[in-house]
Structure 1
Amino acid sequence: MLPMFERLLAALLVACALPAVAVEVKDDLGTVTQIATPPQRIVSLLPSLTETVCELGACARLVGVDRYSNFPAQVNALPKVGGMDDTNVELIASLKPDVVLVAVSSRVSERLRALGMKVVALEPRSYKDVQRVLDVLGRVLGVNDAQRVWRYIDAGVKAAASSVPAQAHGVRVYYEVASGLWAAGESSFMGETLTRLGAGNIIPANLGPFPKINPEFVVKANPALIMIGSRGAEGLAQRPGWDRIDAIRRGRVCVFKPEEGDILSRPGPRMAEAAQIMARCLREKAS
């Protein structure tokens, strides 16, 4: 009988000789992709996916990202392959990726597939989406227990909620996510965070996650608190009729800096930090 060490070594050699088990993943477009081995060269075309790849310990496998991916800092040294409307397909091809991660709304998925690249389309918009995307990316990357990231997010949001005083509960919020009056509805991940913090939302779930809102709708809803990015905040009180809104009359407007806007707008590992930013707004402006 072989000594214990030799038996362990023999078992290890056998395990190493076994072929990797391929996995099949279905993306948000319903496309099924076979991943033979965990990809070592990844291009990500959505900031939230970039951040999730890095949080799952695979940042070193990224070889290119979209122009808006800027966290963690190390991704800023990678080739930038453009944005949603001007993705540089030739540059992506030159990077020889094993897989390309794209948004569902990306216009280049079919072109990339036509060039023989594996493409996985994922675009989380709700808490459940974030959990599901973690599972898919964990399988793509060959990472065990990808849900550990979700447990961290969930615990962080709970901690943020506990910091919101009772007098801020139920305050009716209008959250403008982009210029042109694109709002965060109750069914969006931002809206779900507001709900978990105990706040109300003037944008009902039946309008969708991120609907474009008529300015008169906001005037009639008369929110007690407004959350908005610094780019959209300029001239807020000068919008027709908005000087009558309770939030503006009482100075209950939280203006988020660009770096805060990045955190708040990305459904990924920094959602707990986003909840803390919203909670601070509620503490300072609504209590």
Structure 2
Amino acid sequence: MKAWLLGLWVSPVMALSVQDDAGRTVTLPHVPQRIISLAPHATELLFEVGAGAQVVGVSAWSDYPAAARSKVQIGGIDALDIERIQALKPDLVVAWQSGNRASDVSQLQRLGLPVYYSEIQRVDAMPDALRRLGRLTGHDQTGAQKARQVAQDWSALQQRYARRTPVTVFYQVWSHPLMTVSAQQFIGDAIARCGGVNPFAHLPGLTPTIGVEDVLLARPQVLVTSTPDGQPDGSLQDWARWSALPAVARKQYLYLRADWLSRPTPRLLWGIRQLCEGIERTRQQSDH
């Protein structure tokens, strides 16, 4: 009986070559069966394209979908357990270029482990990322289907809020030090697509550090942040002392669910919809 009938054929014809988000070509001799994810968003993407059963290890905070919680944990995104990763004998490692320590990933590469970088910085890039990850893990059809759905939903969302009256938005990533998002980060991209104006869009880096004075000069109409459950936690209340800020004067505080908005996965569209609806409420109030 021919070997391929038993699923054992590993001819070079079956080799998989896919470009990752760092622009590197990742080539595997066959469909990977023991995948390790080094970031929560990467874990979620692997499950989205149908590769959940092939995942043998995940980073801390890989809590979605529920099945991900039963996988072996291999440390935090910036503190990987290299020995545990080795022991799991992965045939593919999906890393987060801007989240994992470069030294840790380099060590994995020196051990001969194939590394695929997942780094989605714009919502527009997500469909292609899903297609490529689906192809690399042997789930072309599911990856393509998920990609089409994300592209359709994203297009509909953009059309709904296109050409709306601009609203100045300040997104607070962290309060001490005060950090926000630039246009290079997917939340910054989402703000613009919702008809928002991010006064710090031009700054370098994904999450630049700024000063209180910068925000006061920007005079945002709405203050936005994310919390674990999307409920107010007081993280924006420090701004209440600045009563001249339009957002404070009109009590325009918007709290979003962190797991929806902080991970570049299809659930990000849920968070963006929530963001757009919040900006729209501010827009409507400002028009009166």
Q: TM-score range by the shorter chain?
A: 0.7 to 0.9
The answer for unaligned runs of 5 or more in structure 2 is none
Question: What residue number does 1:96 align with?
Answer: 89
Root-mean-square deviation (Å): 3.0
Q: Is the 8 A contact 1:164 1:282 kept in 2?
A: no
Question: What residue number does 2:172 align with?
Answer: 176
* Cα separation, partners in 2 of 1:60 and 1:129, compared to 1, 3 Å: same
Q: Paired residue for 1:273, among 258, 270, 275? A: 270
Q: Is the 8 A contact 2:150 2:266 kept in 1?
A: yes
Q: Is the 8 A contact 2:14 2:29 kept in 1?
A: yes
Question: What residue number does 2:252 align with?
Answer: 252
Q: Please, which moves more after superposition, 94-103 or 272-281?
A: 272-281
Matched, 1:149 2:146: yes
Matched, 1:223 2:216: no
1:191-221 CA-to-partner distances (Å, cap 9, x unmatched) read 2222222222222235343222222111100
Structure 2: distance between partners of 1:92 and 1:161: 41
Structure 2: distance between partners of 1:163 and 1:95: 46
Q: What secondary structure sits across from 1:207 in the alignment? A: coil
Question: What residue number does 1:3 align with?
Answer: none
Shift of 1:182: 2.2
Look up the equivalent residue of 1:116 and give its one-letter code. G
Question: What residue number does 1:114 align with?
Answer: 110
Q: What secondary structure sits across from 1:205 in the alignment? A: coil
* Cα separation, partners in 2 of 1:183 and 1:150, compared to 1, 3 Å: farther
Structure 2: distance between partners of 1:169 and 1:83: 42
Q: Is the 8 A contact 2:172 2:180 kept in 1?
A: yes
Question: What residue number does 1:24 align with?
Answer: 17
Question: What residue number does 1:190 align with?
Answer: 187
Look up the equivalent residue of 1:247 and give its one-letter code. A
Matched, 1:52 2:54: no
Q: Is the 8 A contact 1:263 1:273 kept in 2?
A: yes
Question: What residue number does 1:286 align with?
Answer: 283
**TM norm structure 1:** 0.83
Shift of 1:122: 2.0
**TM norm structure 2:** 0.82
Largest Rg, 1 or 2:
1
Shift of 1:32: 3.6
Greater relative contact order (CA < 8 Å, ≥ 6 in sequence): 1
Shift of 1:112: 1.0
Question: What residue number does 2:122 align with?
Answer: 126
Question: What residue number does 1:62 align with?
Answer: 55
Shift of 1:15: 10
State the identity %. Answer: 29
Shift of 1:134: 2.4
Look up the equivalent residue of 1:175 and give its one-letter code. Y
Q: Paired residue for 1:138, among 134, 138, 143? A: 134
Q: What secondary structure sits across from 2:260 in the alignment? A: helix
The answer for unaligned runs of 5 or more in structure 1 is 1-9
Q: Is the 8 A contact 2:90 2:113 kept in 1?
A: yes
Structure 1: distance between partners of 2:140 and 2:134: 7
* Cα separation, partners in 2 of 1:219 and 1:141, compared to 1, 3 Å: same
Shift of 1:34: 2.0
1:30-79 CA-to-partner distances (Å, cap 9, x unmatched) read 54432111111111011221111111111111111111211111101111
* Cα separation, partners in 2 of 1:219 and 1:18, compared to 1, 3 Å: closer
